[in-house]
A and B are shown apart, each in its own frame.
Chain A
C-alpha cells in the first residue's frame, strides 16, 4: 500500500464537536477507500464467486436453487463481510492513525462507529445492491428477492458492527484472519438464522413483520453496544503493541 496517497486525519481538537469528528472520520475513510478501488471491488467479486460455486458444485436444478438461494446469498454475504473486516483497522493501525484516533478528545466509540459506518457503506451496501441480480440467477421470485434485500439491508450493518469487535481484538496478532473468523462466526449465526428465516417465511406467504422486527432489534442492540466493545478492544490492542 502506498502511504503517500493516504490523507492524514486532521481534527482541530478544541473546536470540533463529536458529530463533526465522526463526519471527518467517515469522510476520510471514504476517501481512502476510493483511492484504493480494487480493495472495494474484492469483497464484491468474492460474493459473486461464492454464489456461483453452489449451482456448479451442488446442483443447478431450479427447485434446489429456489429453496437454498436465500441461504446461499446470506452465507456468501456473511463471508465476504468477514473477509473485508481485516481492512477495517489494519492500515490505520500500521501507519499510526489509530493511535491518533484514540488520543482525540472525542469519545472513541463514536469514532469507531463512524469507521464502522464507512465500512458498511463500502461493503455491506454494495452487497445489498448486487443481491437482486444474483437473486434472479438463483431463481428466487420477486417477492423473495425484495424480502432478501430488506433482511440484508438490516443484517449487514449488524455484521459490520459485530465484526468490528473481532477486528479490534485481533489487531496486530499473528494469523489474525483465521482467528477473526473463529471469534466472529459464532456471533454471526443468530443473524444468519433470522435473515434466512425471514425469506423462508416470506416464500411460504407468511407475514414477515415479526422476523424483521427481531432483526431490527439485533441492529439496535449491536448499534448501541458493539462500538463500546470495539473501542475497549482497540485500546487493549494498542497497549499491546
Chain B
C-alpha cells in the first residue's frame, strides 16, 4: 500500500501509467458519451410536458455533475498537497481547474438554453443557479491565484488553502434545491431512491454522465502529462522521452 502511495507521488511513474490509461479512457468516454447522447437525443421518449426541449438534459446534467465533482476532487487533492506535499496532487489541481471552469460554464449555458423554453427566461436568481455561478467564480479565483504566484511550491499550497475554503459552496449547491423552494427541479439521481423518470430516459443520461467522467479522466491525464513535462523539463527521462521523438 505504502509503496503504491510513494510511486503515485512520482511524476515519472504517473506519466507512464497515464500514457497506458489514456487510450482506454478516450475510447470508453467517446463510446459511452455517443451512446448516451444519440440514444437520448434521437430515441428516448418525449417528455409529456416539455416535449423535445427537455433533451438538453443529456448535456446539461453531465456537465453540471462533473463541474461539482471536479471541485470535490480538487479539494481532495488540495488536502493531499497540504498534508503530504505530494507533487502530483498539485499538478492535478492546476491541470483540472480550467477544465472545471469550462464545465461549470457549459452547465450554466445549457441551463440557460433550457430555461428559455421551459421557464420563459434565460436566467433566474434562484439558489441553484446562483450557487453554480459562485462555483464559476471560485474556479476563476483558483486559476487567478495560481497564475499570480511565481513560486511553484507556494502557489500549490496557497491554491490548496483557497480550494479548501471554497468547498463550503459544494453542499450549498447540492442541497439548494431541497433547502429552498426553487424553480430548478430536484436532482435526477439520488443514491437512495429510484430515479423519478422512466428507464428509457435515465439510462442514456447515466451513460452520458459516465462517458463524460471517462472523457474528463482522459483530459486530466493529458493536461497533467503536459504539466509534468513542463515541470520536469530538466530531468533526464524527459529528455530521453522527447529525443525519442514521441513528444
Contacts and interface: CB of A to CB of B under 8 A. Distances in A.
B158 A186 contact: no
Interface residues of B, number: 23
A240 B165 contact: no
Interface stretch (B139-147, B194-202, B216-224, B228-236): B139-147
B166 A236 contact: no
A240 B154 contact: yes
Interface stretch (B11-19, B86-94, B130-138): B130-138
A190 interface: yes
Interface stretch (A9-17, A27-35, A57-65, A165-173): A165-173
Interface residues of A, number: 23
A185 B144 CA distance: 14
Interface of A is mostly: helix
A219 to B, nearest CB: 14
A174 interface: yes
Given A169-B145, A175-B148, A183 B134 contact: no
Given A236-B154, A236-B158, A186 B137 contact: yes
Contacts of A174: 148
A232 B157 CA distance: 9
Interface string B140-171: 11001100110100100110011011101100
A52 interface: no
B172 interface: yes
B44 to A, nearest CB: 36
Given A236-B154, A237-B154, A240-B151, 4 more contacts: A170-B145, A182-B137, A232-B157, A236-B157
Interface of B: 82, 130, 134, 137-138, 140-141, 144-145, 148-149, 151, 154, 157-158, 161-162, 164-166, 168-169, 172
11 contacts: A173-B148, A179-B148, A182-B137, A183-B141, A183-B145, A186-B137, A190-B172, A193-B130, A229-B164, A236-B158, A240-B149
Interface of A: 162, 165, 169-170, 173-175, 179, 182-183, 185-187, 189-190, 193, 229, 232-233, 236-237, 239-240
